Structure 1
Amino acid sequence: MSTVTHDLAHDGTAMLGRQLQRLRNNPGLLILTQTMPVTMLLFFGYVFGSALAMPGEEYRAFLVPGLLVATAANGLMTGMFQAAQDTHRGVTDRLRTLPVSRAAVPLGQAVADLLVTAAGLVPFLLVGLAVGWRMEGSAPGAAGAVGLLLLFRFATTWIGVFLGLLTRNEEAAGQLGGATFILPLLSNAYIPTEGLPGWLRTVAEWNPISAVTTALRDLFGNAPVPEGAAWPVAHPVAGSLAWCAVLLAVFVPLAVRRYARGEG
């Protein structure tokens, strides 16, 4: 193992511990992030399900993968707020003065968020099973779906970290993060895209959330891949991996450079 890799692993582990301790000291935020997806599942599943052509249980089976991906996309919001909070309060400047790898601080935040997200999957999936959702596919397919979901969360967290370092302000990050709620609405997370107008369907199907949602539905065996869809949705696993690779390739270097540069 090279010295650079060793330093990154050591420093990244230390920053991971800091982030987990931070969450431990703020249990209210942790409880909110864990219970909100379950609340949304119950609300959307029983309120929206009664208004759609799909019967209630069928819609809830359709909805669970979509809500999983919508929750994963919230990595953008949480990553942005935490990075902006540290920057606004001067924590980032203090960390920057330490002999710590420049990639370790954002990496620690992203990995801590990933671990918390993985833990939060358990209660959500249990509630999903209780309301009628089932894993109809194979065990390897289900494992692949969970892995793909966590990869997408990891990628969106890096977007949030970069934007948080860019805004440098808690209030601005909170307002901008709240606006990200519209992203799942412009996708197939909650409703099929087949009935949308042509231009809106195109926008929705090129939304990364749509590709990952379709991939999860396919891997879990909940719904077939729709016909005549845009390429990322027509080839959902490949499309999801491509989107994650692009997002990580763009935003990991941007976040690390932004952290290293500071205000400059």
Structure 2
Amino acid sequence: MTASLTMIGRSIRLGRRNLDLVIMAIVLPVLMMSLFVYVFGGAISSVQSYVDYVVPGIVVLCTGYGATSTAMSVADDMKKGVVDRFRSMPISGAAVLTGHVVASLARNAVATFAVVLVAVLMGFRPTASIGAWALALGLLLLYVLALSWLAAGFGLIARSVESASLLGFAMLFLPYLSSAFVPVTTMPPWLRAVSEHQPVTPVIETVRALLTGAPAESGWLALAWSGGLLVVASGWAAWLFGRISSR
């Protein structure tokens, strides 16, 4: 526990000092939301209030930026030999990755708060109860944990910081193929099939339903996707780290 807390503090301090990470994790999602609401929102007539529709998608998109930052941070530690130095110390290998994952949670929490705050200024009016807010935040936490562990694995196998950012491209791209910005019913049949059978869409639909007071019909599917991804990603990252440590 002491080692994990030390690594968490280290990762948070490194992230706070890295202006690029701050911009990517917080400022960029806010700019993206402004772009979709003010530039594209007027042309989208399939939803009644576009700002209420798009905010959950932007929040989930934030997690992709945060996860990519995690992959780059882990890859940077690998490239500089920091992980090798940690392996020579009497600390758990899991603590090293845990530090990066928890720092990712902290970045995403700040980014989510910033997005929701700006969205309220734009006219976002959620009707969720306290319980619904708690469920939405719990699902987002589970999804961020899963993506962060997956990103940590990408960071371990990346040969450079730049390649780590490319490996995280899928996590940034999937929300654009989901119901984040437009309903899946407006998509061509082949693209609708892709959108309906990937993890991002049920997560967004569930968060959107919880915040707007609608039935969360995709709730169990979102939990299954997020929980399954967390188990697989954390196990894969731990196996990779153990394999590296045994060399």
Same fold (TM over 0.5): yes
Report the AA paired with residue 233 of structure 2.
F
Give aligned-pair identity as a percent. 35
* Residue 97 (str. 1) matches residue 85 (str. 2): no
> Residue 222 of structure 2 corresponds to which residue in structure 1?
240
1:52 paired residue among 29, 33, 44: 44
**Alignment map for 1:77-96 (pairs within 5 Å):** 77-96=68-87
**Alignment map for 1:1-264 (pairs within 5 Å):** 9-54=1-46, 58-178=49-169, 180-221=171-212, 235-262=217-244, 264=247
* Alpha-carbon shift at residue 183 of structure 1 (Å): 1.0
Give me the whole-angstrom Cα distance separating, in 2, the residues matched to 1:93 and 1:36: 33
Give me the whole-angstrom Cα distance separating, in 2, the residues matched to 1:176 and 1:256: 18
Report the AA paired with residue 65 of structure 2.
N
TM-score by length of 2: 0.92
Give me the whole-angstrom Cα distance separating, in 1, the residues matched to 2:43 and 2:170: 25
CA deviation profile, 1:94-138 (whole Å, cap 9, x unmatched): 111111112111111101110221122222111111111111122
Name the SS of the counterpart of 1:218 in structure 2. helix
Q: CA RMSD in A?
A: 1.9
Report the AA paired with residue 10 of structure 2.
R
CA deviation profile, 1:15-50 (whole Å, cap 9, x unmatched): 101101112322442244211111111011111112
Give me the whole-angstrom Cα distance separating, in 2, the residues matched to 1:12 and 1:189: 35
Report the AA paired with residue 199 of structure 2.
P
Does the 8 A contact of 1:76 with 1:177 survive in 2?
yes
Report the AA paired with residue 154 of structure 2.
L
Q: Which has the higher helix share?
A: 2
Does the 8 A contact of 1:86 with 1:92 survive in 2?
yes
Task: Using the TM superposition, name which of 196-205 and 147-156 deviates more.
Answer: 196-205
Task: Using the TM superposition, name which of 68-77 and 34-43 deviates more.
Answer: 68-77
Give me the whole-angstrom Cα distance separating, in 1, the residues matched to 2:205 and 2:133: 13
* Alpha-carbon shift at residue 180 of structure 1 (Å): 3.8
Give me the whole-angstrom Cα distance separating, in 2, the residues matched to 1:175 and 1:137: 37
Does the 8 A contact of 1:87 with 1:165 survive in 2?
yes
* Alpha-carbon shift at residue 174 of structure 1 (Å): 2.2
Give me the whole-angstrom Cα distance separating, in 1, the residues matched to 2:109 and 2:165: 23
Does the 8 A contact of 2:25 with 2:65 survive in 1?
no
Q: Number of matched residues?
A: 246
Give me the whole-angstrom Cα distance separating, in 2, the residues matched to 1:171 and 1:180: 15
